């Protein structure tokens, strides 16, 4: 490795991965490494990987192949995250120039692994099984956003949905203590951050090891930290979604009025095959709680189309659920088999062309729902947190408490800084965003 310890890190995947990378970066910097902007300038090249979607592994190996020529210059490579945990030591066989392979449950051992790497070891692994009870907590998180900070409150997953690789790559569910979460929230507020997003594969499955706080009570406590103006959480599982979560959103104004509650299918038969362990009726009861709240709560979800055995009637039931719930946002995906999951033994009976058709039908149906939903905001005044400015267009981009993008014109010579809050009157709407004018 170069005499000056430099590194480049690229992140694939979700917000959990992005926040894991913030903690990895902070750990590397605490160990004396300096971050650089390109692989060519780095002595250590790390890829933090995701395996939740089809061909994710191939994307990582393609990236490794693109830069393997750099190993002749003495550079070292590390593969982190879900693909690392999933593929394990097979990565060394496919990419012999990789020196370190570590799943997310082993990041707490990064300082020791880096010491071994610097000593010249060429095959270092951090691959925990599902028995670990430890989480990755560090005071050296290198936060990449100037106003929004992430806090992981629970890692891993015990749900074992038949299509999902996460329980096998992230380990079992293990929660941080409420004291450590609140301590981090206060440090974040002291640093000037005003928005916190609590993270977990199933964030509402949180179980306080200290026995002090339920998930709803932890939400309320974080929302009451001085200086914090917005608190979000993601992602919730319907099986652990309790009524007190809705009550606390109503009671604590800093808790954002948006809930992401993945349904995956509107068919009871498909949900059973997915091992989701709830029915559409169970799910819709929780939606009814949210719709009965005093504050209007924006709803978003995930849906998979073309799951093995999904019939046309099953798919129509998903469309019917869309019409009933009237989501503000839907993340829809075609089913793809993932390694080590129970659905691998199921016959992938829906042809690819039919999966594509169903996906397009669902997205078009949802687009019309959003067109109506967003139009209803015209005339309202909403508080927006500024996320960026486009000087060429004289436009500011922000986001409402309901997590809806809001764009508005700005004619003043000094643009509002990212992280500042403004009131905006909504004057127009599109299916995916709102437009307005500052009040």
Tell me what pLDDT residue 115 has: 94
CA dihedral 36, 42, 44, 46 (to 10 degrees): 60
Contact 27, 137 (CB under 8 A): no
**DSSP letter assigned to residue 177:** P
pTM as predicted: 0.91
Q: Which alpha helices (DSSP H) does 11-130 contain, by range? A: 15-30, 56-67, 82-87, 90-94, 110-118
Contact 39, 45 (CB under 8 A): yes
Tokens found for residue 302: 């995930």
Tell me what pLDDT residue 24 has: 95
Sorted by where each starts, the structural domains of the chain and their CATH numbers stand as 6-126 (3.40.50.12160), 381-438 (2.40.50.140)
Parallel/antiparallel/unpaired status of strands 421-429 and 381-390: antiparallel
Alpha carbon 280 to its chain's center: 24
Contact 385, 402 (CB under 8 A): no
Tell me what pLDDT residue 428 has: 98
**What's the rounded Cα separation, in Å, for the pair 161 and 302?**
14
* DSSP characters over 333-368: EE----TT-GGGGS---S-HHHHHHHHHHHHHHHHH
For the stretch 92-151, pLDDT in tens is 999 999 999 999 888 889 999 999 999 999 999 998 777 777 788 877 788 989 999 999
The kind and range of the H/E element at 317 are helix 312-325
Q: Which of 367, 369, 370, 424 is nearest to 397 (CA)?
A: 424
* DSSP characters over 352-418: HHHHHHHHHHHHHHHHHHHHHHHHTTTT-EEEEEEEEEETTTTEEEEEETTS-EEEEE--SSSPPPT
Tell me what pLDDT residue 3 has: 57
Q: Which residues touch 367 (CB under 8 Å, ≥6 apart)?
A: 431
Tell me what pLDDT residue 374 has: 98
Please list the rounded mean pLDDT of every run of 10 residues in the chain (439 residues). 80 88 95 95 94 77 88 92 91 93 90 94 86 78 92 95 92 95 97 97 97 98 98 97 98 98 98 98 98 98 98 98 98 93 94 98 98 98 95 89 96 90 98 96
Tell me what pLDDT residue 393 has: 80
**Count of beta carbons in the 10 Å neighbourhood of residue 203:** 25
Tell me what pLDDT residue 1 has: 45
Taking CA 337 as the corner, what is the angle to CA 130 and CA 103, rounded to the nearest 5 degrees?
30
Tell me what pLDDT residue 194 has: 98
Tokens found for residue 149: 């900070």
Ramachandran angles phi, psi of 321, nearest 5°: -65, -40
């Amino acid at each position: 490795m170069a005499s000056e310890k430099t590194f480049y890190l690229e992140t694939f995947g979700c917000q959990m991965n992005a926040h894991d990378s913030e903690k990895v970066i902070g750990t590397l910097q605490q160990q004396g490494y300096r971050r650089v902007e390109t692989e060519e300038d780095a002595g250590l090249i790390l890829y933090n990987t995701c395996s939740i979607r089809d061909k994710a592994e191939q994307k990582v190996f393609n990236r490794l192949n693109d830069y393997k020529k750099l190993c002749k210059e003495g550079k070292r490579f590390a593969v982190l995250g879900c693909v690392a945990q999933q593929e394990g030591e097979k990565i060394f066989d496919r990419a012999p120039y990789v020196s370190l392979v570590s799943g997310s449950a082993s990041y707490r051992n990064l300082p020791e692994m880096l010491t071994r790497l610097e000593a010249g070891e060429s095959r270092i692994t951090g691959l925990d099984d599902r028995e670990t009870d430890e989480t990755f907590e560090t005071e050296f998180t290198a936060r990449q956003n100037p106003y929004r900070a992430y806090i992981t409150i629970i890692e891993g997953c015990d749900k074992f949905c038949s299509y999902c690789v996460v329980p096998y790559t992230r380990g079992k569910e293990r929660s941080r203590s409420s004291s450590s979460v609140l301590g981090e929230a206060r440090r974040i507020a002291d640093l000037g951050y005003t928005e916190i997003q609590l993270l977990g594969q199933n964030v509402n499955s949180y179980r306080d090891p200290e026995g002090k706080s339920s998930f709803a009570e932890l939400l309320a406590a974080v929302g009451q930290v001085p200086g914090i103006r917005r608190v979000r959480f993601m992602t919730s599982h319907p099986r652990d979604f309790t009524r007190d979560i809705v009550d606390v959103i109503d009671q604590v104004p800093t808790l954002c009025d948006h809930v992401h509650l993945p349904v995956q299918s509107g068919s009871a038969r498909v949900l059973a095959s997915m091992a989701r362990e709830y029915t559409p009726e169970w799910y819709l009861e929780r939606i009814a709680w949210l719709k009965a709240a005093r504050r209007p709560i924006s709803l978003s979800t995930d849906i998979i189309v073309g799951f093995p055995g999904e019939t046309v009637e099953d798919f129509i039931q998903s469309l019917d659920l869309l019409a009933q719930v009237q989501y503000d946002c839907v993340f829809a995906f075609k089913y793809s088999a993932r390694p080590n999951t129970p659905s691998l033994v199921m016959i992938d009976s829906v042809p690819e062309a039919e999966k594509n058709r169903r996906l397009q039908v669902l997205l078009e149906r949802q687009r019309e729902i959003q067109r109506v939903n967003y139009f209803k905001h015209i005339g309202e005044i909403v508080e927006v947190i500024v996320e960026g400015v486009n000087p060429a267009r004289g436009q500011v981009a922000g986001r409402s408490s309901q997590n809806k993008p809001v764009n508005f014109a700005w004619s003043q010579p000094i643009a509002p800084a990212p992280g500042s809050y403004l009131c905006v009157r909504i004057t127009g709407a599109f299916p995916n965003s709102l437009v307005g004018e500052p009040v």
